[in-house]
């Protein structure tokens, strides 16, 4: 990994741009309108398949009309039985699907239609987009950690040096104040001694004067 700040910033900007594109793609895939459109297409496809399964496609040839009607009646009965069974199994299936999905359970309580989109597994494109966002975000996080660690390692000696400098300066200041104080104390003692001597001399002169 390069240690040049300009290269690191350029890499982060490129990764940020890639993340933006992937997030936009993911948002488009999981948007309500897109999700509804995909599910509508799935339902239409299922209904078309069911109709062709019961009545046959326009391109198929079943032979006689009597055979087609009998076959359609039998298939319709099977599908009705399967639908009835699915309705009976729906509560248990719903409990199984929402057991690990608290969000879906909450949406049920609120009567929200988003429950369907929450329960339907994400498409491969959505999974790929989410995985791409995660994969591209990890290097950015690792780079940020490395830069922070490197900056911390570089700043630690400087901080320690600054602390030592402050301590040295404070010690020098204390010594300087101590020396200055001692010097002034000695000067004060000398001045006091000279003043006392002058007073004594003046007193002797006064006594010697007739």
Report the C-alpha gap between 173 and 167 in whole angstroms. 10
Predicted confidence at residue 192, as pLDDT, reads 73
Whole-structure pTM over 0.75, yes or no?
no
- The whole-number average pLDDT for the span 9-34 is 62
Question: What percent of the chain is modeled with pLDDT above 90?
Answer: 0
Is residue 27's pLDDT more than 60? no
149-167: pLDDT as tens digits: 665 565 566 556 655 665 6
Residue scoring higher pLDDT (210 or 200): 200
* Beta carbons within 10 angstroms of residue 132's beta carbon: 17
With b for 16 or more beta-carbon neighbours within 10 A and e for fewer, the 43-52 pattern comes to: eeeeeeeeee
Predicted confidence at residue 45, as pLDDT, reads 63
């Amino acid at each position: 990994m390069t240690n040049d700040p300009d290269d690191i910033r350029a890499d982060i900007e490129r990764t940020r741009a890639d993340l933006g594109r992937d997030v936009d793609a993911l948002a488009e895939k999981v948007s309500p309108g897109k999700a509804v459109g995909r599910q509508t297409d799935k339902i239409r496809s299922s209904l078309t398949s069911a109709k062709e399964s019961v009545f046959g496609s326009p391109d198929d040839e079943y032979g006689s009309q009597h055979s087609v009607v009998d076959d359609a009646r039998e298939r319709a009965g099977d599908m009705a039985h399967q639908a009835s069974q699915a309705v009976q199994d729906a509560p248990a299936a719903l409990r199984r699907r929402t057991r690990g999905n608290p969000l879906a359970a909450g949406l049920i309580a609120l009567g929200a239609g988003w429950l369907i989109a929450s329960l339907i597994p994400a498409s491969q494109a959505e999974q790929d987009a989410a995985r791409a966002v995660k994969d591209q975000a990890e290097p950015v996080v690792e780079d940020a950690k490395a830069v922070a660690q490197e900056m911390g390692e570089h700043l630690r000696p400087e901080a320690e040096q600054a602390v030592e400098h402050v301590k040295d300066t404070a010690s020098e200041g204390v010594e300087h104040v101590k020396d200055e104080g001692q010097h002034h104390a000695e000067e004060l003692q000398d001045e006091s001694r000279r003043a006392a001597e002058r007073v004594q001399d003046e007193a002797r002169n006064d006594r010697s004067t007739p």
